[in-house]
Structure 1
Amino acid sequence: MMGFWWRPLSVLASVMLVALILWAGSGWVAALGFLAGIQAFVMLRRLWQEYRLSRWLENPDEVDPPDATGTWGDIFYRLQKLQRRQRASRSELTNALEQFEHAAQAVPDAMVILNGTEQIEWCNPASRSYLGLDCERDQGQFVRYLMRQAHFLDFLDAADYSRRLVCKSPVNRELTLSVQLVPFGEGKKLLVARDITDLERVDAMRRDFIANVSHELRTPLTVVGGFVETLAETDDLPPAESRRYFDLMLDHTRRMQRLLDDLLILSRLESADHSLSDEPVNVPEMVQALKSEAESLSRGRHRVSVQATSGTWLKGSQQEVRSAFGNLVSNAVRYTPEGGAITLGWHERDGEAVFSVKDTGEGIAAEHIPRLTERFYRVDRSRSRETGGTGLGLAIVKHVLTRHHARLDIQSTPGRGSAFSAIFPAQRVLAAPENAQVIPFPARDQGAA
């Protein structure tokens, strides 16, 4: 602080000393004239420096800072130093705002900044697809005028920052949004809308899965429980009646066992920790075994044949491929009426390997085909129960093929039958080992069971 005062005080002392010398030598008139001249010079210099300061402060970015000596030089220097700090701070703030804006624009969630009167100050691009808001068009507009849904207005009125509003998007009814208000600065709010369509779909699938499993288990458990109660309360039950009860209980018990087995298989296939083994799979031999199983399951009700034009093998999991192919074959036997034909195929096409199961069953309408691989999805629920299916077979097939980078193709014509084809990519196809036993499949092997 003393650094500021010593210079003007020393100048003042020098002026007073000169004035005293003039007073002593030339009289008081000369001394007063000298002081008046010094005062006028100081005032004019001060006005000039104030003008330069004012001109600089009006446009500090375009006008060079004043250059002066003495006290005014110190003032200009300190102001210039302060200006540099402000410029640096402004640059940092601008960079931070630009980074925030870029980050907000990249965020997949819709973000809208509202002022104290709920006017839109800014919104990111996701707001257009989720809420129908445009930053350039809607800036300054009241959000209530643009989004008039009653549940949304009630949500704004509540101003409960801990509450989330789950609603459909006003511009895309297929999207489900989770909307939340967040305090943002003084008197402002940040409106955040997140797409939770997939989460809602997964949650719905979970609820449906639990409901379906419960429904599938309830019937056999009720039947078995009823027979057990009957047997417990009846002392002398005829052997024929007792045999019928035990057969029915065994049938429903096996149905529950099949359902639980399929659920365990699905759980294992979906497990992230379950790695896929790359072992050679003898598909021609497997097709022959599947033909025998189909004949056994059919019990003479269908004509089962094989069309195989390839002796190649696959690289993958023997157990999983066997499970997938077995599900396709058993479905064909279950859903093909008595007297129908089932054909198993194994051939190569454009470098890919194709396992197919064709039947002459009732066929499937086109609107059902995209959903056939969903768990427990059935075209005819009552018929599925009669055939003993669990509703999980095609879901297992889908997971197995996905793990092998393969795909399932379904072609069906109502009243004429269906064809299910598991198509494996070329990188999964293996040439049969030289020492492998070649199974003689003719171009069309007719077999009846």
Structure 2
Amino acid sequence: MNVIWARSVVSLVLLAIACAAVGALLNVRAALILAIVVLVVQSFIGTYHKQRLWRLLDAPVYGEVPSAPGIWGEIYYRLHKLAKRWHAQVRQVEQQHSRFIQAIQASPNGVAMLDDHDQIEWCNAISEVHFGLDAKRDLRQHIIHLVRQPDFVRYLNSHHYDEMLIMRGMGDKRQNVLSVQVFPYGENRKLVLSQDITELERTDAMRRDFVANVSHELKTPLTVLSGFLETMRELPLSEAERTRYLELMEQQAGRMRHIVSDLLVLATLEGDGKLPSDQMVDMRAVIRHLQDDAESLSGDRHRISFDADEGLTVTGVETEILSALGNLVTNAIRYTPDGGKIHVDWSATGGAAVFSVTDSGLGIPAADIPRLTERFYRVDRSRSRDTGGTGLGLAIVKHVLQRHDAQLEVKSEVGKGSTFTVRFPVSRTTRRQPAPV
């Protein structure tokens, strides 16, 4: 017997005892009147609490516990406990749902959920960017009406989603490349995952160009070497001709060594994830080294001048800085005709160290300046080969300067020369203390 039946039986027993006592003291009529009054009052109380419970169930207010005597108080209390437990479960589900949505929003991939009619049920912010959607405005819109690229329409309607779809011309500027794949789930619903592979495509293109350029650059000297070897093996040559051919072969071998050496330097710079040290560079020695190399390479064919603030220096890796600045000076000498001027300046501007190389050479067309630091890019390929350039010097300069937080600026005018300027940040600029007398 549960508590409700027990309390009802006890209530009836007490009413019977009370009525019997009243009947014994007064009469049977008084006992019947008492019983009727008590039962009517209990009926009204029960009806009142039933209506109260109805209203509570129809529009529940969490946290509200109606007070009532007897069994109704117990009912309200148990109902409150049940509502509290349900509320805790709902809160837990809502928190899990919120965390799930936050996780999808944090994903670098686009996620769009479609119903059984290919209408948008939900999409994250990345998917909005990829397809130009609006999660609120486009809710319950057919995705084909919003993403109208023919390839996507055919892919979605094909129902064959084993392979990804590559979509080009996406995004705000219509320059992005997306990888899209559909995953069916549930009752004819679909999950559309998208990934921006623009940078990956660009990297693959650069890799293909790099391999093609390396193959082309090494193929020419190898072809020359092979031809000279065949000539020396099959034709009778005089000593002078043999000497000339050997010199040419040595030049081609040296060119291949320079290419391989520069490629190894680039690989080292790109593979070294450690930041350059804060060790002070001996810029006086670097400038002297640059001046000696410039005069040796020029052979008195140019008018070379150096202006250097000997107390000014920077922090970083001395060998890397020497390699980068040396490439700039070497290029100025190689691409300046005989009799031209070359001026190198090392000074402070606005608290930052600035290295500049100005020449009176051939100059660079404006369209070529943004591409100068690309590997194997040359403004004039034939002249670059004649001067011994590998096409990797400015790529090395770019990587060294990036590692040292420095910037490269190029100003040039065809027929009037060029100025290459390197600006080191103030954080890496310092001054060497003068030696004690």
Q: Which category describes the TM-score, using the shorter chain as reference length? A: 0.7 to 0.9
Contact kept? 1:298, 1:333, Cα under 8 Å: yes
1:40-439 pair list within 5 angstroms = 49-61=49-61, 74-159=74-159, 163-168=163-168, 169-182=170-183, 187-232=188-233, 234=234, 236-274=236-274, 276-300=276-300, 302-315=301-314, 316-426=316-426, 427-431=428-432, 433-434=434-435
Give the distance between the partners of 1:428 and 1:287, measured in 2 at CA.
16
CA deviation after TM superposition for structure 1 residue 209, in Å: 1.7
* Closer, same or farther: CA 15–163 of 1 in aligned 2, 3 Å: farther
One-letter amino acid of the counterpart of residue 313, structure 2: L
**Alignment partners' CA distance in 2, 1:309 and 1:77:** 89
| Preserved CA contact (<8 Å) 1:130 1:172 | no
Retained in 1: the 8 A contact 2:4–2:71?
A: yes
Secondary structure of residue in 1 paired with 2:137: helix
Pairwise CA RMSD: 3.9
Using the TM superposition, give the Cα deviation of residue 131 of structure 1 relative to its aligned residue in structure 2, in angstroms. Answer: 1.6
Q: How far is the alpha carbon of 1:413 from its aligned partner? A: 0.6
> CA–CA distance in 2 between the matches of 1:274 and 1:113?
43
- The 3-state SS of whatever aligns with 1:348 is strand
Aligned to 2:26: none
Which has the higher mean CA deviation after the structures are superposed, 145-154 or 310-319? Answer: 310-319
State the AA in 2 paired with 1:430.
R
Deviation at 1:151, TM superposition (A): 1.4
Question: Partners in 1 of 2:171 and 2:406 — Cα distance?
Answer: 39
Tell me: CA distance 1:259–1:60, structure 2 relative to 1, closer, same or farther (3 Å): same
Checking the alignment, whether the CA contact within 8 Å between 1:268 and 1:274 is kept in structure 2 is: no
CA distance in 1 between counterparts of 2:337 and 2:70 reads 110
Q: Relative to 1, partners in 2 of residues 1:35 and 1:373: Cα closer, same or farther, differing over 3 Å?
A: same
**1:219 corresponds to which letter in structure 2?**
T
Residue identity (%): 44
**Uncovered stretches (5+) of structure 1, i.e. residues with no partner:** 20-31, 437-449
| CA spacing shift, 1:322–1:13, aligned 2, 3 Å | same
Aligned-partner Cα distance in 2 for 1:86–1:184: 29
Structure 1 residue ranges (4+ consecutive) displaced by more than 6 angstroms after TM superposition: 9-19, 32-46
Match of 2:375, SS state, is: coil
Q: Which residue number corresponds to residue 29 of structure 2?
A: none
Q: Which amino acid aligns with 2:181?
A: Q
In the aligned structure 1, how far is the partner of 2:68 from the partner of 2:282? 96
Q: How many equivalent pairs are there? A: 433
* Structure 2 contact 303–339 (Cα < 8 Å) conserved: no
Counterpart code for 2:293? E
1:409 Cα deviation from its structure 2 partner = 1.7
When residues 309 and 242 of structure 1 are mapped into structure 2, their CA distance, relative to the original with a 3 A threshold, is closer
Name the CA distance, whole Å, in 2 between partners of 1:322 and 1:66.
Answer: 85
Structure 1 residues 249, 59: closer, same or farther in 2, change over 3 A?
same
Report the Cα offset of residue 103 of structure 1: 4.7
Residue 414 to residue 330, structure 1, CA distance change in 2 (3 Å): same
Cα distance in 1 for residues equivalent to 2:53 and 2:136: 39
**TM-score scaled to structure 1, two decimals?**
0.81
Q: How far apart are 1:325 and its partner, in Å?
A: 1.9
Residues of 1 paired with 2:42 and 2:319: CA distance?
Answer: 103
Give the deviation of 1:3 after TM superposition: 5.1
Structure-2-length-normalised TM-score: 0.83
For residues 180 and 156 of structure 1, what CA distance do their matches in structure 2 show? 9
Q: Mind listing any 5+ residue stretches in structure 2 that lack a counterpart? A: 20-31
Q: Equivalents in 1 of 2:241, 2:361: separation in Å?
A: 35
1:365-406 superposed Cα distances (whole Å, 9 cap, x missing partner)? 122212211222222233322322111101111222222332
Q: Distance in 1 between matches of 2:432 and 2:62?
A: 79
Q: Which has the bigger relative contact order, CA under 8 A and spacing at least 6?
A: 1
